Structure 1
Amino acid sequence: MSDESQELGITESKSHKPGDWYAEVVQKAGLADYAPMGGFIVTKPRGYALWEGIQDALDSEFKATGVDNVYFPMFIPESFLEREKDIVEGFDPEVAWVTHGGHDELEERLAVRPTSESIIAPFMADWTRSHRDLPLRLNQWCSVVRWEATETKPFFRTKEFMWQEGHTAHASNEGAWDEVWTRLGQYENLYEDVLAIPVLRGKKPEHDKFPGADTTTTVEALMPDGKSVQGATSHNLGQSFAEAFDITFADEDEEERTAYTTSWGLSWRAIGALIMTHSDDQGLVLPPTIAPTQVVIVPIWQDDTKDDVLEYSQNIADDLEAAGFRVELDDRDERNPGFKFNEHELNGVPLRLEIGPYEVEDEEVTLVHRPDNEEAVEDRDEIVESVDDHLETVYAKLYATAEENLEENIRTADSPEDIMGTIGKHGGYVKVPWCGDEACEEAIKEKVAAEIVMQPLEEEGGQTAAKPKAPEDDDATCAVCGEPAEEIAYFAKSY
């Protein structure tokens, strides 16, 4: 390997120093850089392209199910925020405040939105008069600020982050529940069908639900380092926000009713999960569904074969682009093939096409998979179909590896020592019977910084959809305190 190829290399190990490795991949693959203010990042074109891919996938699903996009101000008057006391109490330590406009002190402080229920709900109230106005489904793509004093971890932990937040109003609780499950299902599909990450779906325990919500549902993804990522959440807010902001409507009998509302969101934490799940010690690994460049063509020539190789490569690039693939023809003179291989490997391009004089002569193409460097030789005449097949295979490989990691890392425990020992040794999820008392979670959290990240649910649908699954043993006792247990909980360390 040449010196110039070594410049591209990842120096940290994913298995030994996952935090340092992750930061190096993010920077060397050109996804993001650190801003001059602590807790903020600069998202570079390749990183933002991943967010756009996620946005495109979700936005089309939202619109197909009746959602309209809107945009609300990033500043929320303090009096608006205070109308929902649980929101104030839940986010108060993390709210950034604007107190001055220019040199003048503001008459009322403005919160930089930590979430937008308190600014959107009053307008939902204005726009809702009759049952004919419902359901009302709004979504905005924006950034929010939560002033957490945590170490910056691009896409996982930043004070400002990109997300989408959906807000809906319904005539009935059943309608609200249908909304909750629709959005949770769309998030699950995004992770499993676009990001190649299997997820678990369930609910947060009562003490960890969204401030002001009746129920918070979640999809959770397990990272290779044994930590869980909250992939997205969908909240049934019941009538608390509607009552606080007077979201009412006249029903068919002209009786005034209070609406039921939901909110749901996914942030660019999904990008962090994507990087952490699939990437390796050579750099970024991306599934073809989301990769900004799906296929890179690297021509390999000597002076006497250059024209033929480049013409052959360009024709293949044209055919693939016409078929809808995102293709790059890397015909740079100043870089040798070894450097190009390493650079595109670092940047996570799923499929590399190598074309030299032998491929031209034999009317073939050599294809190399990014995840494992598996090679194949295919006929030139069938290159479009072959590339499609190989990209599907790459996706399947990534999903299978992530699925194996998940399946192998769900364990059970029946005592506090067992829970802590299992998490300490293996990480992953520990599935236990639980009495429902927050104190039992705290007892574990204090010792090993693991918490209840998810509770699997009984059959979904209707107004009792958020009931946690019961242990299979009718006489099960809580794995922490030994009291009777009627619920199942998953403990894990989390991002």
Structure 2
Amino acid sequence: MASTGADKIGEDAQAKPESITTNALPDRSDVPDEAGANGELSKNAAKKAAKRDKQAADKASKSKDKPIGTAEAKLPTSKAAKKKTEDTPLIGIDVAKEDDFSGWYQQVLTKGDMLDYYDVSGCYILKPASYFIWEQVQEWFNIQIKKMGVKNCAFPLFVSEDVLNREKAHIEGFAAEVAWVTHAGKTKLDKKIAIRPTSETVMYPYYAKWIRSHRDLPLKLNQWNSVVRWEFKNPQPFLRTREFLWQEGHTAHLTETEADKEVLGILEHYAAVYEQLLAVPVIRGRKTEKEKFAGGLYTTTVEGYIPSTGRGIQGATSHCLGQNFSKMFGITVEDPSAQPGEKKDPLFVWQNSWGLSTRVIGVMVMIHGDNRGLVLPPRVAELQTIIVPVGITKSTTSDEREGLYKEIEGLVEILRAAGVRAEADFREKPPGWKFNDWEQRGVPLRLEFGTKESRGHFVTASRRDIVGKDGKGKSEMPITELKTGVPALLETMQKELYDRADEKFKSHVKKITSWNDFVPALNDKNVCLIAHCLTEQCEDEIKEMSARTAEEQSGEAQDAKAPSMGAKSLCIPFDQPDGVEEGVTKCTNPNCMNRAEKWCLFGRSY
């Protein structure tokens, strides 16, 4: 296996969908619309934001959480989850995934050494284990986009208020979340400066400056950066944070055809990040008009599914902005079809934007993790194989110990030469303690090596993705086969992780033809395909009709209440089943008199 864990990917990316259907950009769904009509933060919105911030601060100050910096900081617990069973040995993680999903998730991340809490609420420290995953995504994605002619760049993180307000409809959705710089030291600034919530208004004035001729097209830029959105809705690591890392691509094209082709090409790369790197299945589709990116022409998306909560989650989005932004920012070129001396109106360019964030890490953890801790797909694991010495007792001489350690060091070198990220654990701890520690960290493969293995010239291999006392996850591997056997086993684990997640996802996508079955299916942790008219009014009504009552929510963990309780449209899948005849099939909403246009995927969502 190559050391990057990604060079085998991309060659076998799935075929591109035949038709266009989508609209969205990462982490932009569920953004409160509290901006005034002129694009500035309204007084009411400001009051609401201040009130929410104060409530969050009061809640934090009253909590009995451990101090920041401890691994267990701010972790909810569940008494019911304290129990230990044969199938669920809660060692290290003292909250069961099935009992308190939010508490489990946060413990898995902190005790798995993925992140730590920061002293600014809603902000988190990405430790090397999680940042390595992001680096793997970066390395792989950079290769793909550079093949498409995209170049990386960096724009400032500050935006003047005047520029931010130029695109009123676009920024309106972010207004309540914009963080402002108002002072330099003790001096109040004449004009406050925003910290970018996204970069359209930062970049596009310069696109207008740089693009003067059709020969300057296409212009394809991407930046890897962080953005700030002062999120007030139950911050969760990786999923909903006040500062997060992402990439944002912004491109300009001469024709709509060129723009359309890129939108779908980027979407396939996003799907490959999930499916081939993270072993997470996704559904490709197009957002409805209601859910598309504000100011865009259409949005394409990859949508995931979290089995433990039965909720959909937006994975990444690729938008065709049409000519909307080029008209706002005056990005034009001369018409190349004009004959010498002929006067033609300048053409507004066609633009795209697309983004993928560190949310991918949270989705991966939620899907693969178990009650022992993290389960990391081999292709993105910082450490793919750990070798643990076993069988060392009080009667073991120092020479025997040293000899065993030297053999293990030799095994590590064999694996590294084969492109496997491998280490040995020589800590003065019992083997059982080490087993639990590496399982909690999600290391894909553990090799045990002791005097028995040394005499027999083999290693005992234990897979992290298959646990239990039945021995299914254990096998013996001859040392002579390590060079090829371990990379092959890691690839098998990668594939089987995906296959299991894919099977579960597919089993929870229900095709619903009667409204009476819709809400029960949602309550059974499914997402639902329904024949839908695709109108905003109907979507709003479905969300309201599928919302759970206060009685239904009583006793639920806070995590279950935090996402929208009503079902919203996730996407219009590219892969459309038979059964919807435009102009004939009725919309599934019993109160809607419209005819259905497409099968649309609905679900309760993060």
Counterpart position of 2:387:
297
1:3-30 deviations in Å (ceiling 9; x for gaps)? xxx9952111112221111011011101
Counterpart position of 1:433:
531
SS in 2 for 1:222: strand
CA distance in structure 1 between the partners assigned to 2:603 and 2:332 by the alignment:
41
1:253-304 deviations in Å (ceiling 9; x for gaps)? 4652110000000011100001001010000000000000001111123423
- How far residue 141 of structure 1 moved from its aligned partner, in angstroms, is 0.7
- How far residue 205 of structure 1 moved from its aligned partner, in angstroms, is 1.0
Counterpart position of 2:321:
237
Matched, 1:472 2:580: yes
Matched, 1:408 2:504: no
In structure 2, do the counterparts of structure 1 residues 342 and 214 end up closer, same or farther at CA, with 3 Å as the change threshold? same
Matched, 1:207 2:324: no
Matched, 1:398 2:398: no
Q: Give, as a single letter, the amino acid of the residue that structure 1 aligns with 2:98.
A: S
- How far residue 473 of structure 1 moved from its aligned partner, in angstroms, is 4.1
Does the 8 A contact of 2:386 with 2:425 survive in 1?
yes
CA distance in structure 2 between the partners assigned to 1:35 and 1:417 by the alignment:
46
Tell me which of 162, 170, 191 is aligned to 1:79. 162
Q: Give, as a single letter, the amino acid of the residue that structure 2 aligns with 1:403.
A: D
Counterpart position of 2:602:
491
CA distance in structure 1 between the partners assigned to 2:249 and 2:113 by the alignment:
30
In structure 2, do the counterparts of structure 1 residues 278 and 27 end up closer, same or farther at CA, with 3 Å as the change threshold? same
Matched, 1:367 2:461: yes
Counterpart position of 1:452:
569
1:116-169 deviations in Å (ceiling 9; x for gaps)? 001111111212122221111101111111122111210011111111100000
CA distance in structure 2 between the partners assigned to 1:52 and 1:325 by the alignment:
17
The 5-angstrom pairing of residues 40-439 of structure 1 reads: 40-225=123-308, 226-253=310-337, 255=344, 256-300=346-390, 301-302=392-393, 303-304=396-397, 305-332=400-427, 334-373=428-467, 374-424=473-523, 426-439=524-537
Q: Give, as a single letter, the amino acid of the residue that structure 1 aligns with 2:476.
A: V
Which residues of structure 2 form unaligned runs of 5+? 1-83, 339-343, 468-472, 549-564
Q: Give, as a single letter, the amino acid of the residue that structure 1 aligns with 2:159.
A: I
CA distance in structure 2 between the partners assigned to 1:266 and 1:445 by the alignment:
26
Q: Give, as a single letter, the amino acid of the residue that structure 1 aligns with 2:596.
A: A
Does the 8 A contact of 1:8 with 1:343 survive in 2?
no
SS in 2 for 1:192: helix
Q: With structure 2 as the length reference, what TM-score do the two structures score? A: 0.77
Does the 8 A contact of 2:461 with 2:475 survive in 1?
yes
1:84-119 deviations in Å (ceiling 9; x for gaps)? 122122211221122222222223222211110011
| Greater displacement, 266-275 / 433-442 | 433-442
Q: Give, as a single letter, the amino acid of the residue that structure 1 aligns with 2:125.
A: V
Does the 8 A contact of 1:8 with 1:28 survive in 2?
no
CA distance in structure 2 between the partners assigned to 1:252 and 1:64 by the alignment:
26
- How far residue 487 of structure 1 moved from its aligned partner, in angstroms, is 2.0
- How far residue 415 of structure 1 moved from its aligned partner, in angstroms, is 4.1
Considering Cα pairs closer than 8 Å and 6+ residues apart, tell me whether 1 or 2 has the greater RCO: 2
- How far residue 204 of structure 1 moved from its aligned partner, in angstroms, is 1.1
Does the 8 A contact of 2:227 with 2:244 survive in 1?
yes
The 5-angstrom pairing of residues 16-27 of structure 1 reads: 16-27=99-110
1:304-351 deviations in Å (ceiling 9; x for gaps)? 33123211111110011112111111111x211111111110000001
CA distance in structure 1 between the partners assigned to 2:148 and 2:491 by the alignment:
27
Does the 8 A contact of 2:307 with 2:504 survive in 1?
yes
CA distance in structure 2 between the partners assigned to 1:393 and 1:88 by the alignment:
46
1:226-254 deviations in Å (ceiling 9; x for gaps)? 11111100000000111111111234346
In structure 2, do the counterparts of structure 1 residues 469 and 109 end up closer, same or farther at CA, with 3 Å as the change threshold? farther
Q: Give, as a single letter, the amino acid of the residue that structure 2 aligns with 1:413.
A: I
SS in 2 for 1:289: helix
Does the 8 A contact of 2:580 with 2:599 survive in 1?
no
Q: Identity over the aligned pairs, expressed in percent?
A: 41
In structure 2, do the counterparts of structure 1 residues 7 and 493 end up closer, same or farther at CA, with 3 Å as the change threshold? closer
CA distance in structure 1 between the partners assigned to 2:95 and 2:534 by the alignment:
41
- How far residue 486 of structure 1 moved from its aligned partner, in angstroms, is 1.2
In structure 2, do the counterparts of structure 1 residues 219 and 7 end up closer, same or farther at CA, with 3 Å as the change threshold? closer
Q: Give, as a single letter, the amino acid of the residue that structure 1 aligns with 2:207.
A: M
- How far residue 71 of structure 1 moved from its aligned partner, in angstroms, is 0.7
Does the 8 A contact of 1:70 with 1:139 survive in 2?
yes
CA distance in structure 2 between the partners assigned to 1:471 and 1:124 by the alignment:
45
- How far residue 428 of structure 1 moved from its aligned partner, in angstroms, is 2.5
| Greater displacement, 335-344 / 58-67 | 58-67
1:176-220 deviations in Å (ceiling 9; x for gaps)? 111101110100111111000111010111011111101011000
CA distance in structure 1 between the partners assigned to 2:596 and 2:482 by the alignment:
58
CA distance in structure 1 between the partners assigned to 2:125 and 2:114 by the alignment:
9
Q: With structure 1 as the length reference, what TM-score do the two structures score? A: 0.93
Does the 8 A contact of 1:81 with 1:88 survive in 2?
yes
Tell me which of 429, 442, 447 is aligned to 2:540. 442
Which residues of structure 1 form unaligned runs of 5+? 459-467
Q: Give, as a single letter, the amino acid of the residue that structure 1 aligns with 2:311.
A: K
Matched, 1:12 2:95: yes
- How far residue 34 of structure 1 moved from its aligned partner, in angstroms, is 1.8
Does the 8 A contact of 1:39 with 1:150 survive in 2?
no
RMSD of the TM alignment (CA)?
Answer: 1.8
Q: Aligned pairs, how many?
A: 480
SS in 1 for 2:215: helix
CA distance in structure 1 between the partners assigned to 2:314 and 2:493 by the alignment:
25
CA distance in structure 1 between the partners assigned to 2:202 and 2:91 by the alignment:
46
SS in 2 for 1:455: strand
CA distance in structure 1 between the partners assigned to 2:197 and 2:404 by the alignment:
55
- How far residue 392 of structure 1 moved from its aligned partner, in angstroms, is 1.0
Q: Give, as a single letter, the amino acid of the residue that structure 2 aligns with 1:362.
A: G
